[in-house]
């Protein structure tokens, strides 16, 4: 089954007209100068990789090292008015993540599938993408349904918290928890439809819950529970299900 993408990678604007891309290149050059031999690849993901970044976008850089515990430390700083987030991971660990599906898949898959190279002499980043796509192709619907059921339980907990906050007139706290519940419901949708998202905002927008109130989220959760039961993954069970369920 094909994976539904949040958006297709684009070439974006030219590097000479994009200050965030130029900043990413400067960071890459500095990393290569200091850590060159241990670097497998350097890439940028997020808005800059998709080519639709704006003046308020951050620069999300991933540094892939040839082995663990080498290279720079992960860090986030503001440089020339732009937030730069530097993530560091070894090649083996990154490939292992790419071969693992969890309930957070709708929110993390984009980094495997849409990373624009800043430094990739061995074409390693396409290997990361292909590894993830191959794993997805081998994953059956029951695995995604099982993950969706786990995510549904978490979404139901978040929904219950938001409802209690509203009943107690804790309006500000209720809005925070309501946002968490919206995202949780969107993640369940992503797992049920095998759709990955760009980020949290994209998730709630594409799932149609960006402005959903508590009762609407409850209706979505009910519909999702019915769909999970139809797929053979009911949300209700007994002790045997809890202790030995797949």
Domain locations in the chain as residue ranges:
15-138, 141-244
pLDDT at position 109? 97
pLDDT at position 38? 97
Instruction: Identify the residue with better confidence: 243 or 152.
Output: 152
With pLDDT > 70 as the criterion, what percentage of the chain qualifies? 92
Class of domain 15-138: alpha beta
CA-based max dimension of the chain: 61
**Model pLDDT for residues 142-161, shown as the tens digit of each residue:** 999 999 999 999 999 999 99
pLDDT of 221 strictly over 50: yes
pLDDT at position 5? 55
Question: Which has the minimum average pLDDT: 89-93, 165-169, 232-236?
Answer: 165-169
Task: Report the distance separating Cα 187 and Cα 168, nearest Å.
Answer: 27
pLDDT at position 11? 42
pLDDT at position 166? 78
Note the pTM of the prediction, 2 decimals. Answer: 0.87
pLDDT of 227 strictly over 60: yes
pLDDT of 21 strictly over 80: yes
- Average pLDDT (61-81) is 96
pLDDT of 130 strictly over 70: yes
Q: Report the candidate in 71, 42, 72, 44 with the shortest Cα–Cα distance to residue 58.
A: 44
- DSSP code string of 104-147: THHHHHHHHH--EEEE-TT-HHHHHHHHHHHHHHH--HHHHHHH
pLDDT at position 6? 47
Per-residue confidence at 165, pLDDT binned at 50, 70, 90?
Answer: confident
Mean model confidence pLDDT for the chain: 91
């Amino acid at each position: 089954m094909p994976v539904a993408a949040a958006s297709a990678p684009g070439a974006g604007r030219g590097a000479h007209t994009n200050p965030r891309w130029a900043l990413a290149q400067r960071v890459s050059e500095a990393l290569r100068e200091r850590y060159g031999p241990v670097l497998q690849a350097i890439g940028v993901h997020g808005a800059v990789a998709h080519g639709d970044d704006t003046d308020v976008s951050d620069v999300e850089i991933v540094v892939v090292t040839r082995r663990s515990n080498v290279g720079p430390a992960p860090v986030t700083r503001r440089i020339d008015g732009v937030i730069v987030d530097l993530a560091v991971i070894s090649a083996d660990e990154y490939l292992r993540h790419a071969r693992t599906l969890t309930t957070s898949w709708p929110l993390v898959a984009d980094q495997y599938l849409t990373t624009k190279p800043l430094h990739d002499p061995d074409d390693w980043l396409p290997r990361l993408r292909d590894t993830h796509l191959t794993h997805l192709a081998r994953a059956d619907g029951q695995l995604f349904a099982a993950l969706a059921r786990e995510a549904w339980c978490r979404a139901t907990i978040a929904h219950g918290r938001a409802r209690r906050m509203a009943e107690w007139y804790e309006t500000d706290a209720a809005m925070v928890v309501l946002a968490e519940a919206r995202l949780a419901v969107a993640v369940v949708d992503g797992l049920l439809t095998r759709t990955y998202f760009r980020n949290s905002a994209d998730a709630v927008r594409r799932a149609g819950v960006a402005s959903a109130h508590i009762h609407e989220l409850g209706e979505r959760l009910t519909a999702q529970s019915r769909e999970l039961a139809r797929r053979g993954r009911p949300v209700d069970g007994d002790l045997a299900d809890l202790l030995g369920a797949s």
